[in-house]
Structure 1
Amino acid sequence: MGGENFSELINYLQEIPAVDVFGSGIFENGLWWVKFNIDIRHPNAWQVVQEIGHVVNYISVNERLPTVFYPVSPAPYMNGGPDEFLSWIIETEDPDFTPDDMKEWLSGRLPQPVSDLTAWDVDDD
């Protein structure tokens, strides 16, 4: 699997408000990952975290996707705060689940169009 196999997923993630993809790769065992920043000062940042977390980690209680979404950070006391050093990873736990599969699951369930800020507004009343 080459880097070009990530292009659809990366392009899709880049359209999500506050997201900036900066890395992707494949482990020797065939499992892949995508790493990105979410601008925590963006008004939709936590909505983005919640929506991605729902699809990637918990789309169904009974049939979960073979993927995980989680935050990562170097030691804050040595580097700095979450504005600069908190990043996020989506990775697969099944080499048969491709980046294109992940893109399809996300695009079918996240607000549409994904780049439209008004689509991300949630009525909290």
Structure 2
Amino acid sequence: MKLPHLFSKQNKKAASETTVLGDVVEYSNAQTEPLNPIFQTLSDFIGKTPAAKFLSAETTEQGWWVRMEIDIHHNLAWQVVQEYGYVLNNVSFTEKLPTVFKPTSPPPYMNGGPEDFLTWIIECHVNDFRPELAKEWLEGRLPRPIGDLTEWEHSD
């Protein structure tokens, strides 16, 4: 994917970043190394969620993170954002999960539209809360079965 007008804001900062970035011609969130097995169940679950696509995951010294895409043109995109956000950010006022679900994008000078550059992150800063537990919390509170689009329809 080619970057649209990579450095459209021509200023000193962008010019200096041109030298730092060198030959950047492509932006990708896709997993380049083999997936750590601790992420397999959460990755599979995300892949079954309407409009969602697993991109990458990594462990850190303090926890882990998962990056995913949500197809903004899918009719259930906003509902997926709401469901994931509710469970991972606010499912309980008294006992919050150690997770954060939030949007992310590359720096503005690399940015195009949300179709190409908007991704979502699930972050956890606690090693004891494994990705499989996040999947279990999501699975227990999102429509079931997760891939059945009729279960996602609201009856108003």
Output the TM-score relative to the length of structure 2: 0.75
Deviation at 1:28, TM superposition (A): 2.5
Structure 1 segments unaligned to the other structure (5+ residues): none
Does residue 118 (structure 1) correspond to residue 125 (structure 2)? The answer is: no
Higher relative contact order (CA 8 A, sep 6+): 1
Supply the distance in 1 between the matched residues of 2:108 and 2:51 (Cα, whole angstroms): 21
Pairing partner for 2:55 from 22, 33, 39: 22
Deviation beyond 2 Å, 4+ runs, structure 1: 75-79
Q: CA deviation at 1:76?
A: 4.4
Following superposition, the deviation at residue 39 of structure 1 comes to 0.1
- Partners of 2:106 and 2:45 lie apart in 1 by 26
Q: Which has the larger radius of gyration?
A: 2
Shift of 1:77: 5.2
Report the alpha carbon displacement of residue 7 of structure 1 after superposing the two structures with TM. Answer: 0.3
Percent identity among equivalent residues?
51
1:82-125 superposed Cα distances (whole Å, 9 cap, x missing partner): 011000000112110001111110111100010011111123x4
Verify: 1:80 aligned to 2:139, yes or no: no
The count of corresponding residues between Structure 1 and Structure 2 is 122
Match of 1:90 in 2: 122
1:39-98, Cα deviation, whole Å (9 max, x unpaired): 000000000000000000000111110100000012345431101100000011211000
Under a length normalisation based on structure 1, what TM-score does the superposition of the two structures give?
0.92
**Corresponding residue for 2:38?**
5
Tell whether 2:45 aligns with 1:45: no
For residues 37 and 89 of structure 2, the distance between their equivalents in structure 1, rounded to whole angstroms, comes to 25
